[in-house]
Structure 1
Amino acid sequence: MTVSLALLLLGVLAAVVAPRLMSRAEWPELEPVVALWVWQCVVAAVLLSFALSMIFSAAAAWGAVRGHVFAPAPQGVMEAYALGAHRPWSAVIAVVLASGGLWTAAMLSREIHRARRRRRQGRKDLLVRSPVLPGEEPGGAPLVVLEAERPDAWWLPGTAPQLVITTAALRRLKGRQLDAVLAHEQGHARARHDWLRHCSGALANGFPQVPVFAAFRDEMHRLVELAADDVASRRFGRRTIALALVELNEDRGVFGPGTTPDAQVPQRVNRLLSSVPRLTAGRRLRLTAAAALVPVIPLIIAFGPGLRALG
């Protein structure tokens, strides 16, 4: 029971403290790819803590579960966890956490279903605006050009991602700016940023009161754009992608007073034009390694008593 409570408290502590620590840090703006990795490790540690707490609570509450969990373990290992005490509380914790797990799976399934529906609708709308010519296959073209007066470019995720760009964007973008925009969208496709958005959205919608999940969703929407900007800037230069963003968005009022849905665009442009250097390779490596160790902490807490009993 002690191990189960420790894991539960660890999950709650990480869910509350991690967003505050990340919001105070300045380096995620410089290294969005590393920041994406850190966020994924933190969320994985929270979910793993709750899952292990559920397993140990269920093992303490019901003998049938205990027999399955500790079937190959010696008797001394089971005794090290003191699973016979506080059975009513163990049952309550196990049921609550199991309900949370089922709710998480339901939210993720709903998010995937909605994403697939949006994707199908998007492809249907694309076929209406850009009909398939004789001899072509629907969704076969990796690049689709649409006749439109508004400059825009986006990508449709799926097994065969498609890049969509309007004729107004082709007229607006000059020189290598078009290549930079296409590289930005290809960066989204290669990194499968759509899955990060689906998972973060499912967790935030399912548990809106949990700080780490809400922050995870908000940061995913911001960091994936910064990461794609960096992909394009490494090939075509930071100034090129910054000017391309201005050309695509200056008619939407995002650079004027007031707030708009694309309010992050000016921040992205300022970031690209700033001269703040990236973190050193050594610090990036240390942050990556430290983040990878975060999900190991609940594993140490979970298996520590058993390993000590075996030793």
Structure 2
Amino acid sequence: MLVVLGLVGSAVAVTLAAPVVLGRGTWWTRHPTLALRSWLVALALAAGALLLSVAVAATIVAVRAHTSGFGAVAAGLFAWCGLAVAGGVGALLLTTAEPLSDAARRADAAVTLLVARSAGRPRRVGAHEVVSLPVDVPLACATPDGRIVVSTVVEAAMSPQCLRAVVEHERAHVRGRHELIRRIAAVNAAAFPGLRTAQDLRRTVALLVELVADDAAARVCGPATVCNALVAMDALDPDPGLQLRAERLARVRVRTWEHRRGAVAAR
């Protein structure tokens, strides 16, 4: 029974400590990939510890089925309560995830339909197709099948170098499965509206995936080019977040592919 209590205590400790430890200071702006992984690990540890505590309690009940000691009774109560809570949480997650998933599917279907109707010939950047979409709105995103979509408004407003930075940013989202991570965080926050960690996770993940993609684009195109691309996007569709991300890249040192090649040549 001590093991069960220890697992529950670990889950509670991780849940309470994650926002305090991971949100402290500005280290996460310099290392967004590490910060994103740390948040996801914290979420996995808390959920895993709770599920394991229920499994251990159920095992104790099965082993001590014919005994009537305090440990067996307590384990039985915990196991049944844990299963009831797990069932309730599962049902809540399903009911919450369904409308979010439907909205996401409708958005994905709309983008895919626009791409299918586009008369432009796609080009390839690495392993991904890049499609020009003739619409009068600033748009840069990825389709569910991994194609990069950039509207002609964005293409007309940017230099070829900045446009490549936008494409690399979206490619980083596809490679990192950032949309899936965002949806997991959104479902978690919707299922637990009163839990601070869930809300912090949703907000932080939404920002971190953008910073990770910015850094990935900067490693290919250079931080200055990505800064210019962010400023150009802000001019098309004003957003204070774009300005802050551009300022961050101007301050944070990002190791580019050119720097890596130089380091290898120096060896």
TM-score (structure 2 length as normaliser): 0.81
Amino acid at match of 2:198: F
Counting matched residue pairs gives: 249
Q: For residue 196 of structure 1, report the CA deviation from its aligned partner.
A: 0.3
Amino acid at match of 2:108: R
Paired position in structure 2 for 1:230: 215
Q: Provide the C-alpha distance between the structure 2 equivalents of 1:50 and 1:8, rounded to a whole number of angstroms.
A: 6
What percentage of aligned pairs have identical amino acids? Answer: 25
Paired position in structure 2 for 1:20: 20
Paired position in structure 1 for 2:72: 83
Paired position in structure 1 for 2:34: 34
Q: Deviations over 1:218-272 (max 9, x none)?
A: 1111011101111110111101011011112214333xxxxxxxx3111100001
Q: Is residue 207 of structure 1 aligned with residue 184 of structure 2?
A: no
Q: For residue 98 of structure 1, report the CA deviation from its aligned partner.
A: 3.5
Amino acid at match of 1:83: A
Q: Describe the shift of the 1:2–1:103 C-alpha distance in structure 2 as closer, same or farther (beyond 3 A).
A: farther
Q: Is residue 162 of structure 1 aligned with residue 147 of structure 2?
A: yes
Q: Is residue 51 of structure 1 aligned with residue 48 of structure 2?
A: no
TM-score (structure 1 length as normaliser): 0.70
Q: How does 1:1-311 map to 2 (within 5 A)?
A: 1-60=1-60, 63=61, 66=62, 82-85=71-74, 87-108=76-97, 111-128=100-117, 130=118, 142-156=129-143, 158=144, 160-254=145-239, 263-274=240-251, 276-277=252-253
Q: Deviations over 1:110-153 (max 9, x none)?
A: 5444433321232224445x2599xxxxxxx9222122344432
Q: For residue 105 of structure 1, report the CA deviation from its aligned partner.
A: 5.0
SS in 2 for 1:24: coil
Q: Provide the C-alpha distance between the structure 2 equivalents of 1:42 and 1:25, rounded to a whole number of angstroms.
A: 18
Amino acid at match of 1:146: L
Q: For residue 86 of structure 1, report the CA deviation from its aligned partner.
A: 5.9
Q: Provide the C-alpha distance between the structure 2 equivalents of 1:222 and 1:86, rounded to a whole number of angstroms.
A: 41
SS in 2 for 1:176: helix
Preserved CA contact (<8 Å) 1:57 1:94:
no
Preserved CA contact (<8 Å) 2:114 2:133:
no
Q: Provide the C-alpha distance between the structure 2 equivalents of 1:195 and 1:86, rounded to a whole number of angstroms.
A: 36
Q: For residue 96 of structure 1, report the CA deviation from its aligned partner.
A: 1.7
Q: Provide the C-alpha distance between the structure 1 equivalents of 2:142 and 2:104, rounded to a whole number of angstroms.
A: 14
Q: For residue 2 of structure 1, report the CA deviation from its aligned partner.
A: 2.9
SS in 1 for 2:159: coil
SS in 2 for 1:253: coil
Q: Describe the shift of the 1:12–1:110 C-alpha distance in structure 2 as closer, same or farther (beyond 3 A).
A: farther
**Structure 1: stretches of 5+ with no match in the other structure:** 71-77, 134-140, 255-262, 280-311
Flag the structure with more relative contact order, 1 or 2, with Cα contacts below 8 A and sequence separation at least 6.
1
Preserved CA contact (<8 Å) 2:130 2:149:
yes
Preserved CA contact (<8 Å) 2:189 2:198:
yes
Q: Describe the shift of the 1:110–1:148 C-alpha distance in structure 2 as closer, same or farther (beyond 3 A).
A: closer
Paired position in structure 2 for 1:308: none
Q: Provide the C-alpha distance between the structure 2 equivalents of 1:166 and 1:12, rounded to a whole number of angstroms.
A: 46
Q: Provide the C-alpha distance between the structure 2 equivalents of 1:169 and 1:132, rounded to a whole number of angstroms.
A: 15
Preserved CA contact (<8 Å) 1:238 1:272:
yes
Preserved CA contact (<8 Å) 2:163 2:229:
yes
SS in 2 for 1:142: strand
Q: Provide the C-alpha distance between the structure 2 equivalents of 1:175 and 1:127, rounded to a whole number of angstroms.
A: 24
Greater shift in the superposed pair: 191-200 or 244-253: 244-253
Preserved CA contact (<8 Å) 2:7 2:49:
yes
Q: Provide the C-alpha distance between the structure 1 equivalents of 2:111 and 2:166, rounded to a whole number of angstroms.
A: 20
SS in 1 for 2:135: coil
